[in-house]
Amino acid sequence: MKNLISLVALIACNSIFGQVSLDYYLEADHPYDQSIPQPQTLLGYEVGTWHVSHDKLVHYMHRLAESSDRIQIENRGSTYEGRPILLLTITSPENHSRIEEIKSNHIALTESGADQISIEDQPLVVYQGFSIHGNEPSGANSGLLLAYHLAASNAPETLKMLDELVILFDPSFNPDGLQRFAYWANTNKNQNLTADPNDREYNEVWPRGRTNHYWFDLNRDWLPTQLPESQARIKTFTDWLPNILTDHHEMGTNSSFFFQPGIPSRVNPLTPDMNQKLTQKIGAFHVEAFNKLGALYYSGEKTCKRRYQSFPKAFRAHVSQRLRARLCNAVACVQA
């Protein structure tokens, strides 16, 4: 788990600093399975050189699933522009062979009277989602590398992690927005990167890539769940009741990196105290990763624009009181 969190933090942070080689993201001497295709073999470029379009992201995720017995892929629906709403289930082959049993035991453990179920061989469930705001692209782009790492790494800590986790991997929370943004940025970027914020690359035309096809901010649809992207997301969440949910945004070039638990005064009183304690522990891994890079970050502070809290407030209202009680598992969410 530690490595997973660190990897995400390292990858997400990198977009601040521009182009680097794959060795920056992934250890050069790491024991990777050579039969698993690296992202650039399908993209035609190193991750971070261009913004990934949703089309290419879908292509790569399917190729990974074909190549790895650690990944099952499914399409949970279609966006208004006809893009698939993918979900990858990533875990060890052994766990895949009993995935329904794991799921039913996991759900049973959220109810009272489940004392007979041993938690010793019961994996935790983590739901990871990327770039709900399509023009916050480091999420979806880092997801390419994270999915590759999980599919290809044969390091003992990775194998242990795959034994102990079922990862519900949602590579793009907002396919139409990601596609719209990637088109704009790739069309307008210069051969030599420019730091001028007035450059056309950084000034998308309306409606920009933040929203979905109908210009709706999907991060405001956790409660109404009116849109197909949200309906797929919430169904996965309620089907599995994950122990942890991560929601990978981006803060932009004029801000350092933010992660939860955020400012304490913004925590809803209905959020279990344990949620905050466990979220803080996850944050400690981010701190370690960022310190290693010498990168700036913040967590428990107020910004001039808004304040940050854990667990989307709209979703908090969406779940019933009974379901909320079930969610005494740690639910950590990064939102911006």
Can you give the binding site for Zn ion, defined by CB under 5 A? 133, 136, 249, 336
What tokens were used for 121?
A: 């061989």
Neighbours of 274 (CB within 10 A): 11
Q: Which helix (H) or strand (E) holds 72?
A: strand 71-78
Least separation in angstroms between residue 312's CB and Zn ion is: 11
Q: Is 130 or 240 the residue whose CB approaches Zn ion more closely?
A: 130
- The bridge status of strand 84-90 relative to strand 257-258 is unpaired
Q: How far is the CB of 146 from Zn ion (least distance, A)?
A: 18
**Closest CB to Zn ion among 5 and 336?**
336
Nearer Cβ to Zn ion, position 149 or 249?
A: 249
Cα–Cα distance for residue pair 221/82, rounded to 1 Å? 19
Query: 297-298 and 257-258: which strand pairing?
Result: parallel
For residue 174, the minimal CB distance to Zn ion (Å) is 10
Name the 3-class secondary structure at 71: strand
Q: Residue 277 carries which side chain, given as an amino acid letter?
A: K
Can you tell me the distance from the alpha carbon of 160 to that of 164, in angstroms, rounded to the nearest whole number?
A: 6
Between 56 and 133, CB nearer to Zn ion: 133
CB of 28 to Zn ion, least distance (A): 32
Q: Which is nearer to Zn ion, 161 or 221 (CB)?
A: 221
Strand extents, DSSP E, 111-178: 124-130, 165-170
* Minimal distance, residue 136 CB to Zn ion, in Å: 5
Element (H, E) at 178: helix 175-188
Beta carbons of 169 and 88 less than 8 angstroms apart: yes
Other beta carbons within 10 angstroms of residue 16's beta carbon come to 17
- Cα end-to-end distance, the chain, whole Å: 23
Spatial separation of the C-alpha atoms in residues 187 and 281, rounded to whole Å: 41
Nearer to Zn ion, 149 or 248 (CB): 248
Give the nearest distance from C-beta 133 to Zn ion in angstroms.
Answer: 4
Euclidean distance between CA atoms 248 and 133, whole angstroms:
9
Closest CB 140 distance from Zn ion, rounded Å = 12
Nearer to Zn ion, 91 or 221 (CB): 221
Residue (89 or 131) nearer to Zn ion, CB: 131
The answer to whether the beta carbons of residues 70 and 158 sit under 8 Å apart is: no
- Least Cβ distance, residue 246 to Zn ion (angstroms): 13
Q: Token pair of 143, please?
A: 């997801």
Q: How far is CA 246 from CA 68, 203, 204, 330, in A?
A: 23, 28, 27, 11
The distance of closest approach from Cβ of residue 175 to Zn ion in the complex, given in angstroms and rounded to an integer, is 15
| Closer of 145 and 336 to Zn ion (Cβ) | 336
